[in-house]
Structure 1
Amino acid sequence: MDGLFQVFDIASTGMAAERFRLNVISQNLANSDATRTEEGGPYRRKAVVFQEAVNKSLKGGEEFAGVKIVSIEDDPSPFRLVYDPTHPDANEEGYVSYPNVNVLREMVDMISAQRAYEMNAAVVNSAKSMYNAALNIGR
């Protein structure tokens, strides 16, 4: 039965990581036109960094334990400049710095995160079905 719970644990780390990634994508989309932040300047796009999670096994080695979130990084790409001299945040030349958020890219990332979440949910359902079938063999 230990293998069953390991499958659930691994899939749940993937589901939690993708849910967190969706939250960050939502934050990026919500701030796609924010020219001012509390830190000053326009909003800077955020990206989630994942890493393989490993646990020390009882046999002395390492075993795969899913995925973990390492950090949330700021996207270093340049801000989008739009000429609008009437905007309150316009510089001396009349350009406004808008966030480096590309809505199309965020939508693609959102679909990718959604599919990865669904894939992990399918793994959980497949494991449940497999173990139920194994339990029914003895009947």
Structure 2
Amino acid sequence: MISALDISTSALVAQRTRLNAISSNIANLSTVRNENGDLEPYRARYVVLQSDAELTTSGNGVGVKVASVGEEQVDPMYRYQPNSPLAITSGKWKGYVAYPRVDLNTEFVDALQAVRAYEANVGVMEMTKGLGAQTLKILA
């Protein structure tokens, strides 16, 4: 039973990490400057999950862990706003403002999926806890 709790706990951590990345993407939907103040739009983050061999339980289950958190490598969206102080001043995109390429609909769907997975794992933990309690009643 402890391994079931370990596996579910690993999933909770993984889904929380996903939700943090999604929250960051939504919060920075209109961020056009990077951490240094340069005109470089925010790049959406994504989380890569993988099986966690350390939580393998005799072939009966495998935990999950965060393999990496990456940044999307896509071109920004450009909006023509020639009077904006954030507009590009020269080159092909002169007069345009570069915005992050973050799709709000995709982020909401991903958030819903992460929340549902989190809730499912909390449910598994509750059931495992109930099994433990019933086992103790029988043995006592």
TM-score (norm 1): 0.85
Give the aligned partner of residue 16 of structure 1. Answer: 13
Structure 1 138/63 Cα, relative in aligned 2: closer, same or farther at 3 Å? closer
> Using the alignment, how far apart are the partners of 1:116 and 1:84 within structure 2?
41
> Using the alignment, how far apart are the partners of 2:132 and 2:124 within structure 1?
12
Structure 1 56/7 Cα, relative in aligned 2: closer, same or farther at 3 Å? closer
CA contact (8 A) 1:55 1:64 kept: no
Structure 1 120/56 Cα, relative in aligned 2: closer, same or farther at 3 Å? closer
> Using the alignment, how far apart are the partners of 2:16 and 2:55 within structure 1?
26
Which amino acid letter does the alignment assign opposite residue 119 of structure 1? Answer: A
Give the aligned partner of residue 121 of structure 1. Answer: 122
SS of alignment partner, residue 47 of structure 2: strand
Which amino acid letter does the alignment assign opposite residue 101 of structure 1? Answer: V
Q: Deviations over 1:107-136 (max 9, x none)?
A: 111111110100110000111112222333
Q: Tell me whether 1:69 sits opposite 2:66 in the alignment.
A: yes
TM-score (norm 2): 0.85
CA contact (8 A) 1:53 1:64 kept: no
Aligned residues between the structures: 134
SS of alignment partner, residue 77 of structure 1: coil
SS of alignment partner, residue 55 of structure 1: helix
SS of alignment partner, residue 106 of structure 2: helix
Q: Which runs of 5+ in 1 are unaligned?
A: none
Q: Which runs of 5+ in 2 are unaligned?
A: none
Structure 1 residue 67, shift from structure 2 partner:
0.8
SS of alignment partner, residue 34 of structure 1: coil
Structure 1 residue 62, shift from structure 2 partner:
7.4
Q: Which has the larger displacement, 87-96 or 8-17?
A: 87-96
SS of alignment partner, residue 53 of structure 2: strand
Which amino acid letter does the alignment assign opposite residue 45 of structure 2? Answer: K
Identity %: 35
CA contact (8 A) 2:50 2:67 kept: yes
Give the aligned partner of residue 101 of structure 2. Answer: 100
